[in-house]
Homo-oligomer: A and B are copies of this chain.
Amino acid sequence: MSSEHHRETTQQKPAILEGMRVVELSAFVAAPLGGMTLAQMGADVIRIDRPQGGLDYRRWPVTENNDSLFWAGLNKHKRSVAIDIAKPEGRELAQQLICAPGQDAGMLLTNFPARGWLDYHALAEQRNDLIQLTIQGDRHGGSALDYTLNPRLGLPYLTGPAREGKELVVNHVLPAWDLVTGQMAAVGLLAAERHRLRSGQGQHVQLPLEDVALSVMAHLGFIAEAELGVERKGCGNDLFGAFGRDFATADGARVMVVGLSLKQWQSLVKATDSAAAVAALAERLKVDLNLEGERFKARVELAEIIGPWIATHSFAEVQARFDDCGVCWGKYQTVAELVREDPSCSTDNPMFSRVQQVGIGELLSPSVPLNFATGRVDAKPAPSLGADTEEVLLDVLGMSSGQLGSLLAKGIVSKK
């Protein structure tokens, strides 16, 4: 018995969303992440996939055998029912699952278009308190990906080395909008379910990726700044609006240091023995460097004070001194170094356990980062496609084994 199973069976209390049931029809990042967040909090999340898998079933990174680490990562803790939804009978079956009874069921999370067999009103005929949350590309139902949306926001001009002109665009690697949207999908489902519990009413909730990104660009002040006529320039690795940037240590390590709050700034000045030089600079520039904005304006001069101290100390010395003084800092490391050397990225961190993933092997697998006092459930692997077809059709839909056999024979469903 693996330690994963051992830890799970010692779990005392039911997980926080125990009893909730969500059906998921999805691909890529946002919707699967939203569903997985609920699953890792104890909801029964049932993925419906075509027997051969959906659009993201081979999404990179993949193993040598072309098994997707991406798909396995985003579908942990779910159940899988394989239904051929290209066939009318398969679609009807999927509709039955979506609309199956249960006070805490009747919830659909999808990024498939809410039309045809997934039209909310059509589904609501089978369950009038259905909650459907549809992640859309834009508010009109058009498609958009994180990668095509992000260029429209201006960020690729502000990312990377400081420069004039617009030739160099730098995409960021992280699908940040998908990640935010996935969590907002979980927010939306929980809010709609809260409302249903009080009112008895279901609803269709739409969540456009484009609107998530635009709202955040406004929340952070990017849009207001442009409305006021200020054109922000890229500032490379400098923290915008205060003091922060990367520096090399004497032995070639690289660290990010931040003096955003006054306390952080004072810690950094103390740790690098820079008080006198900083005071002289403030005197020379006739500014108050205790104000974060003044630190940003004087960032080049300040880096010339802070940098040499770091450049003449080894990483070990920098680390000891910074931690001693309470500096806010971080080390640049590769993903390989993170996995090999960082204790937070190991089972030292109770969020992680080692989980056997069919076809791939044992993986360091995180549960949900929300640590509820009512208990955290260890990560479970992603299902094989169709692993739960039989169980779900018998238990949730109350099907007989004869009916199941007929569906299997006709190729409407498959099981692993």
Contacts and interface: CB of A to CB of B under 8 A. Distances in A.
Contact of A194 (B58, B76, B194, B224): B194
Interface stretch (A44-52, A200-208, A271-279, A281-289): A200-208
A344 B246 contact: no
A364 interface: yes
Interface in A174-203: 174-176, 179-180, 183-184, 186-188, 190-195, 197, 201, 203
Contact of A147 (B186, B256, B367): B256
Contacts of A145: 258, 260, 328
A334 B157 contact: yes
B159 A173 contact: yes
Copies of this chain present:
2
A115 to B, nearest CB: 16
Nearest to A153: B338
Contact of A293 (B62, B197, B228): B62
B60 A370 contact: no
B60 A293 contact: yes
A364 B169 contact: no
A87 B79 CA distance: 53
Contacts of A226: 335-336, 338-340
Contacts of A254: 151, 166, 169
Interface in A134-189: 138-139, 143-145, 147-161, 166, 169-176, 179-180, 183-184, 186-188
A374 to B, nearest CB: 6
A226 B365 CA distance: 13
A221 B256 contact: no
A206 B371 contact: yes
- How large, as a class, is the contact surface on chain A? 35 or more
Contacts of A63: 228
Given A349-B139, A364-B223, A364-B227, A152 B211 contact: no
A149 B190 contact: no
Interface stretch (A234-242, A386-394, A398-406): A234-242
Contacts of A149: 330
A261 B330 contact: no
Given A69-B221, A332-B156, A60 B292 contact: yes
A345 interface: yes
B344 A166 contact: no
Interface string A6-37: 00000000001100000000000100010011
A18 to B, nearest CB: 9
Contacts of A86: none
Given A151-B256, A244-B147, A336 B231 contact: yes
A191 B334 contact: no
A159 B170 contact: yes
Contact of A144 (B223, B291, B330): B330
A258 B364 contact: no
A232 B61 contact: yes
A130 B6 CA distance: 32
13 contacts: A60-B296, A61-B232, A61-B241, A147-B330, A148-B328, A151-B330, A154-B336, A155-B173, A159-B172, A187-B190, A195-B374, A201-B374, A215-B369
Given A61-B224, A188-B370, 7 more contacts: A70-B241, A175-B220, A176-B176, A190-B194, A192-B372, A194-B194, A223-B335
